[in-house]
Chains A and B, each alone.
Chain A
Amino acid sequence: MKLLNKNIPARLFASAPKKTVGTWKTSFLFALLLPLFLLFGFSKANAQQDATALFQTIRQRVAQTKDYVADVRMKVDVAFMNIPLLKGMLYFKAPDKMRLERNGGVSLLPRNSINLNLYNIMAQGSVTVIDGGYESLDGKDVRVIKIVPDAAESDLVLTKAWIDESRLLVLRSESTTRDNGTIRMNLAYGKYAAQSLPDKVVFVLDLKDYKMPKGVTMDYDDGTPADLPLKGKKKKGRIEIQYLNYKINQGLSDAVFQKKE
């Protein structure tokens, strides 16, 4: 202990002449790097501001569509379902009402997931926007932003959006939810790009496996080997909706969305 106490001042003393040179070097480096740090910090803050502004601009455009009726074709590609191409009318009313009407036929929409349309991702409540830089999407540089809803009770935890800055359009979104897994949307635009309404949306979503006891079902075993049981495990489902035309802001009543048995 004594030896240690003796050594400390000695070491300090020994390094004293070098201190002047070290301070000068540090000051020089600091002077050199400070503008770079400031520049980087400023550009980062600026990018953050840009991302928020970009989000707000797109949000305003998306929010202009209060409701729509669209003639749609829906292709369901889910391992435990065999569904033909469904034709019908898709009704939407902001913020979260959606219904597929199939002229008397049976309609099928993913519960909650399909409501994750652009309106729900972009135009709901207070959010925090985080800049995610640029990424290449289908050979095109797109801006990436992350949107975190401020409301703690929101099912939506985080949405990552890939944005075409020149056209102000969301080309892809990936939303992480509390109860419905991760839902990815790929959007393609055409005639209704000005309203941020896509011509085609492809949803890729997490789905739980479906199994029913054989006694309840009315199976016919044709000898085809069954899929390996994945009970409880999540599988990916793909739903493609093609919008043939839109009728926008018609003032749809809530009665349209009443569930019919």
Chain B
Amino acid sequence: MWMPLLRAELYKIFKKPRTYLGFGVIAAVTLVIQLAMYANGQSFVDFVLQGIQEQFDVEGNILNGYLVTYIILNLLLAQVPLLVALVAGDALAGEAGAGTLRLLLTRPIGRTRLVLAKFTASSIYAILLLLWLAVIGLGLSLLVFGRGDMLNFTADRLIMLLSDDIFWRYLGAFGFAALALITISTLALFFSAMAANAIGPIVSTMGVIILMTIITNLELPLFQAIKPFLFTTHMVAWKGFFNEPVPYGAMLQSALIMLAYILVLLGATIFVFKRKDIQT
């Protein structure tokens, strides 16, 4: 019963045109960044290296596929959650808005199982978005810009990673990003369980992400105490894979906090949806 339900949910997601909007946006943004890097990447490299090049001669294929992918992920992984919210926010509220939710629940599937199927389908969508980003971002960048050692520029340190020590970091980073997107997906599903049309949950999710991102990025003492508890603080922990040594402790903590968000939000969604008076 579970697999047909999941298949049906996936079918519903992929028959909607808005689902492909995410793939299109990712492809467009990635290609624009790659084109910009291809045309003016050297100026970018010279700019970020200027502090180093005063004292060191740096030579070689600095603007390689690994660095370009890292730049793409930095710019894009903050926006992908909005694309995930488009689909997950629609999962339950969309059915309510279309008047199919009541009909759906007349079948002997149970509300918990339906929420879990919607959650799994939304998560699969988020993972597929990331896989698409991996193919078009990492794959195409490596094809166009080639492989090489990666320079990671932080505010007070230059980290150099050897070419044969990078690919596993991307696997880890994409895995971590998947966890972050599933967190967003669960949040959107939670709002979706409370609404009767898709716009509300999508806008609410975007609002929460924007608010939390602003609090995360503002270096104000007022927000320091709450920052560790915001999922937006931990969503960027994928970057830890490109530090040396990899801060596994801090990243595990971030992963556990996001996992806690997923479990709590999923539990809350089931709780709300089970008690919901479904009229459409």
Are A219 and B149 neighbours in the complex by a CB distance under 8 Å? no
Main SS class of interface, A:
loop
Q: Residue on B with the closest CB to A237?
A: B55
A194 to B16, CA, bound (A): 78
Scan B34-69; emit 1 where CB is below 8 A from any A CB, else 0: 000000001000011001111111111110000000
Are B54 and A222 neighbours in the complex by a CB distance under 8 Å? no
Whether B277 is near chain A, meaning CB under 8 Å from some CB there, is no
Whether B29 is near chain A, meaning CB under 8 Å from some CB there, is no
Query: Which residues, 214 to 260 on B, are CB-close (under 8 Å) to A?
Result: 236-237, 239-240, 242-244, 247, 250-251
Main SS class of interface, B:
mixed
A239: shortest Cβ distance to chain B, in Å? 10
Whether B162 is near chain A, meaning CB under 8 Å from some CB there, is yes
When distances are taken between beta carbons in the complex, the residues of chain A under 8 Å from B59 are 99-100, 106-109, 259-261
A218 to B74, CA, bound (A): 7
Whether A13 is near chain B, meaning CB under 8 Å from some CB there, is no
Q: Residue on A with the closest CB to B150?
A: A106
B250: shortest Cβ distance to chain A, in Å? 4
Q: Which of B81-89, B131-139, B153-161, B178-186 contacts A (4 or more CB under 8 A)?
A: B153-161
Whether B70 is near chain A, meaning CB under 8 Å from some CB there, is yes
User: Residue A210 contacts which of B47, B152, B156, B236 (CB distance < 8 angstroms)?
Assistant: B156
Are B155 and A213 neighbours in the complex by a CB distance under 8 Å? yes
Q: Residue on A with the closest CB to B53?
A: A111
Scan A223-261; emit 1 where CB is below 8 A from any B CB, else 0: 110110100000000000000000000000000000111
Whether A125 is near chain B, meaning CB under 8 Å from some CB there, is no
Query: Which residues, 113 to 158 on B, are CB-close (under 8 Å) to A?
Result: 147-149, 151-158
Are A111 and B57 neighbours in the complex by a CB distance under 8 Å? yes
